[in-house]
Amino acid sequence: MIFDNDGVLVDSERLANTILADLLTEAGLPYTFDEAVRDFMGGSMVSMRQQAEVKLGAPLPADLEDRYHQRLFDGFARLQPVPGVREVLDQLDAEGITYCLASSGTHRRIHTALTAVGFWERFEGRIYSSEDVQHGKPAPDLFLYAASSMGVKPTDCVVVEDSPLGVAAANAAGMKVFGFAAMTAEEKLASADAIFHQMTALPALIRVA
């Protein structure tokens, strides 16, 4: 099992996209929360900058990522796990199903988030970041890197993702993918093998995978 982090393990997307929309607006590119979710959720800050600079027609402030992470990490003091995911991980542990994490976030962001919700020990040594590969999601690179590092064939992996970029990456990697449609509209995850809306529904999907 390969878990996405933001929006799947940690309930960070509302905070993250609010901050991002604010910073882009302050930089002269007016963005709402919903537009930030639509355009950037699930992607890396590297690809966010590339897309936003094309729209703006000018470079974004050089310190935008630093200010984003500063505000985000301040907010992570109140970060919560996605409801029900702790119980899912407990069940995977009990059943001996191996799992890891593959995120578009930086290693520092992943570490900060996992520590805040008490998940660090569960994933330590099994964490893969877009920083580790040349092309982040929606390219397959990150998931393929995670699978090879774990010594598992891509066709034996199941990805849990909440963003269209992540579902596309899993499709490209030839992996089965379950789309978590909690914050994301179901139709945007249509290329997933299954869609679920609450973490309590995940164990049943895993059993038939």
Longest dimension (CA), the chain: 52
Q: Is 141 in the site for Mg ion (CB under 5 A)?
A: no
Catalytic residue numbers, as ranges: 4, 6
Q: Which is nearer to Mg ion, 58 or 190 (CB)?
A: 190
Contact 120, 132 (CB under 8 A): no
Count residues near Mg ion (CB under 5 A): 6
CB of 140 to Mg ion, least distance (A): 16
Residue 4 engages Mg ion in binding (rule: CB under 5 A): yes
Of 23-31, 42-50, 76-84, 186-194, the window that binds Mg ion (rule: CB under 5 A) is 42-50
Which residue in 121, 177, 169 sits closest to 145, CA to CA? 169
Distance CA(199)–CA(41), nearest Å, equals 19
Site of tokens 């729209």 = 55
- By CB under 5 A, the residues from 158 to 177 that bind Mg ion are 162-163
Selected from 6, 11, 39, 141, the binder of Mg ion by CB under 5 A is: 6
Q: How far is the CB of 19 from Mg ion (least distance, A)?
A: 15
What is the chain's length? 209
Region of residue 109 (phi > 0: left; psi between -120 and 50: alpha; otherwise: beta):
alpha
CB of 98 to Mg ion, least distance (A): 21
Which of 64/162 has CB closer to Mg ion? 162
To which residue do tokens 């999907």 refer?
205
Contact segment (CB under 5 A) with Mg ion among 5-13, 16-24, 49-57, 107-115 equals 5-13
Query: CB within 8 A of 155, min separation 6: which ones?
Result: 174, 175
Integer Cα distance of 99 and 161 in angstroms: 14
7 touches Mg ion (CB under 5 A): yes
The nearest distance, CB 22 to Mg ion, in angstroms, is 20
State the residues that interact with Mg ion by CB under 5 A.
4, 6-7, 42, 162-163
